[in-house]
Amino acid sequence: MRTAEIKRRFLAHFEANGHTVVPSAPLPAIEDPNLLFINAGMVQFVPYFTGQQTPPWTRATSVQKCIRTPDIEEVGITTRHGTFFQMNGNFSFGDYFKEKAIELAWDLMTRPQSQGGLGFDESKLYPSVYVDDDEAIGLWKRIAGLPDERIPRLGKSENFWSMGIPGPCGPCSEILLDLGPEFGEEGDFLNGDRYMELWNLVFMQNLRGEGTNKEDFEILGDLPAKNIDTGMGLERVAYMLQGVNNMFEIDEVRPLIDRASELTGKRYGASRPDDVRFRVIADHVRTGLMLIGDGVTPSNEGRGYVLRRILRRAIRAIRLLGFEDKALPELLPVARDCMSPSYPELSEDFERISSYAYGEEEAFRSTLRQGTTILDTAVKDTKASGGTLLPGAKAFELHDTYGFPIDLTLEMAAEQGLKVDEEGFRQLMAEQRRRAKADAQSRKTAHADMSAYRELLTAGGPTDWKAYETLNTESTVLGMLAEGSPIQVAKEGQLVEVVLDKTPFYAESGGQHADAGTITGASVSAEVVDVQRPIKGLVVHQVRVLKGELAVGTAVKADVDPEWRLGARQAHSGTHVVHAALREVLGPAALQSGSFNRPGYLRLDFSWRSKLSDESRSEVEEAANRAVRKDLPVAVKYMTLPEAREFGALALFGETYDETVRVVEIGGEWSRELCGGTHVQHAAQIGPVVITSEASVGSGQRRVEAVTGLEAFHYLARERDLVSQIADELGAPRAELPERISALMQRAKDAEKELANLRAKELRDSAATFAAQAKKIGDVAVAAVQAPDGTGGGDARKLATEIRGHLDPNKPGIAAVAATAGGKASLVVIVNKTGTAQGLSAQALVKGALSGRGGGNDEVAQGGGVPADQASALLQAVSAQVAGE
């Protein structure tokens, strides 16, 4: 029974019994700060179990996509660890409880397949229960007719369920399948592999507290209602019903192994190390597909880092099997075809998904080329000195300079029999973070010591800040700093920090850039280039003296550039408008996570799992401009933080606020945010809002950039001029430009394809000539060929195959092709069957030429990664080995 059919039957069974079919939640656990990914079927229903929200239904069923990564190193080593899996579940929210849950589960498990059930043999099923759950024991005996010896009582670690963190929990009953005596002793439910869990029925009735393991946690009390939460591992049931040995061999996964086997020439099942790599490839490519499909993109932190690590482990696994060309374009479409029967959106969105995956492989291939050489040298040096520990400094260099992840360094070093000085690596990483933090602070404070600021604050008191009230003030210079030290006089051309008794300048904060303007006196003029608040209560102006001398005690006039401030107000109010428009179009989940604005420009980061469609982007832009056209009123209110929350004002996640806060409204409840920035008085003053880009900036995070006011007019004018220029160049009306450009691009692609075909044909046609020129070394015909520059590994392999086809099959023959591309040389060796029968090995020849590197088998092998100028030397090394030199 195919996996998609098991899923269909499960949902149909519960829908027929009054359950609402609920779609799977996206894999990123955006709503739960305790989780990176959804790791159980019930996660999206937690608010209903805890009583925080009222469920829209009393019964639900779902097949939830899940990710678990704590055991990522175990993937492939065991046949039960996978990163992506699907959890069938049925849920009751205060409706039915133990009796109905057991009835529904037993019916589906044991009903014949011909009648829509799963058809498991009743005699092989054992429902375990929590040790003191007599009620469940009685129900199993009555409903399933099972004797006591078929219902094992197990302890808290086996039959009391929770997510591993504080939250809903309860005793459970697991339906176990007896796999037979070859897997362990009869009745031994705690050890061995004989009894496999297929379905866990959780009687969700308690709330747990903190704990360190499955048994060490406190029960805080009862949930508002007794609920049911069940979980049936779809992959586990699939491999039982499909008659295969493990989850890697079911219909949704095995085709990936088969394709990897075709690419590498290795056979699954032939050796344990290779089998582990095949399973890593299959699991990780499928997981990568599902993660990117749900909006996660590769990055260096959080969910994006998990995705990056998973994809890179898959890529490296297939390289270790001997395939060094781009692997994901060969494997990802296979994963798509396996999963799209259950998730058709994967096919619809495959262009986006594949672009992220293929881009990550390209980046990793570059990283490997550089980092592997450095690592190999470091390993060689460590071994030569008799050491067993790779220095932390070398691991840090690989990470910092070449982007080599530390986990990859650990794996590759372990394969060479070395450990890594992880403590030294972590110390260097910590030092780097401290330096980066100090550098960022120094750029904001001109390297001033904080004590100097505190002395200025103590001497002059808090700055009288007038940015909300006026654009100019009559002020006095209270103090100045140059390179961290107090000074009395700043001369022409000098860059210094100035503290005034009062100021109209807005200090950078809340995502708004600092004001620009001037500070002038009777005989001095200075330009304000930055304004910061290095410590609370003190506003510091970074100024460049343009004329005269600026001295402490001087009476000056502080003037904000009115055009600058107007642009800043437009951009900051525009940020609020775009945020409200995003939430209007996409829903409340599109919550701002960061922003930056300067005159005429804004960018806004927000939580969202996937790229905005062109339609959604246009709707957001229209909603923002509709608010501008309506000239929505802008109001500022002060209130306590609890009052603001009750008022419905949005706060930026991660920010800290005083007890009294400033709330900025645009159009009343349409936009209410806690904000300390400067704003327009009416929305129409923002001017047009034009979204210029939308892109991913990390796991579950998107970024929109936009321009406002005059910058928006300028942007549209440039776009108009560009379109006019293209139309003139093509001699076509503007309305026809998309079709004309598309046609030109297609012609270019066709030409590139034709060139590629001609090149491939040229290589094929040359194969006979190369074979005829083969040199005899003893009784072996060796065709050693250096391919034209730019020949990829795939073309080199095809050429070698063609050459072998022209060699006399009745005599031992070798086709060796060296190719150069991207500054590196690669080697492909193919031995005909007569040659392998006489003991020749393509793999041995490649490894001999490449000092142990490369992979393949006796017939076909390849390797590379050495400098391009060594191509001819690789061919000479092959010939020398054949000659026995």
Which residues participate in the annotated binding site for Zn(2+)? 572, 576, 675, 679
Residue with tokens 């010591």: 449
Check the CA dihedral 440-445-446-449 and report its sign: negative
The CA distances from residue 828 to 319, 759, 866, in Å, are: 14, 18, 13
> Six-digit token pair at 541?
């102006």
Cα–Cα distance, 812 to 834 (Å, whole number): 5
Nearest CA-CA partner of 299 in 392, 363, 368, 354: 363
CB atoms within 10 A of CB 217: 19
Which residues does 687 contact at the CB level (< 8 Å), separation at least 6? 570, 628, 708, 709, 710, 712, 713
The answer for 539, left when phi > 0, alpha when psi is -120 to 50, beta otherwise, is beta
The CA distances from residue 502 to 411, 496, 558, in Å, are: 59, 18, 9
Cα–Cα distance, 482 to 496 (Å, whole number): 5
Cα–Cα distance, 328 to 316 (Å, whole number): 11
Cα–Cα distance, 436 to 853 (Å, whole number): 38
Q: Characterize the bridge pairing of strands 153-154 and 125-130.
A: parallel
End-to-end CA distance of the chain: 58
Cα–Cα distance, 468 to 569 (Å, whole number): 11
Residue type, 54: T
CB atoms within 10 A of CB 562: 11
The CA distances from residue 611 to 288, 349, 356, 592, 703, in Å, are: 17, 10, 12, 16, 10
Residue type, 585: V
Helix (H) or strand (E) holding 486: strand 485-487
Nearest CA-CA partner of 484 in 531, 450, 537, 448: 448
Evaluate whether 543 touches 519 at the Cβ level (below 8 Å): yes
Cα–Cα distance, 59 to 227 (Å, whole number): 10
CB atoms within 10 A of CB 651: 18
Residue type, 660: T
Cα–Cα distance, 299 to 696 (Å, whole number): 10
Check the CA dihedral 59-64-70-76 and report its sign: positive
Cα–Cα distance, 842 to 833 (Å, whole number): 11
Nearest CA-CA partner of 558 in 571, 572, 573, 539: 539
DSSP notation for 182-228: GGS-TT--SSSSSEEEEEEEEEEEEEEEEESSSS-EEEEEEEEEEEE
Cα–Cα distance, 557 to 471 (Å, whole number): 11
Task: Go through the chain and tell me how many residues it has.
Answer: 885
Evaluate whether 698 touches 608 at the Cβ level (below 8 Å): no
Cα–Cα distance, 855 to 844 (Å, whole number): 9
Which residues does 533 contact at the CB level (< 8 Å), separation at least 6? 507, 509, 539, 540
Evaluate whether 119 touches 251 at the Cβ level (below 8 Å): no
Binding residues: 572, 576, 675, 679
Helix (H) or strand (E) holding 155: none
- Distance between alpha carbon 711 and the CA centroid of its chain, in Å? 34
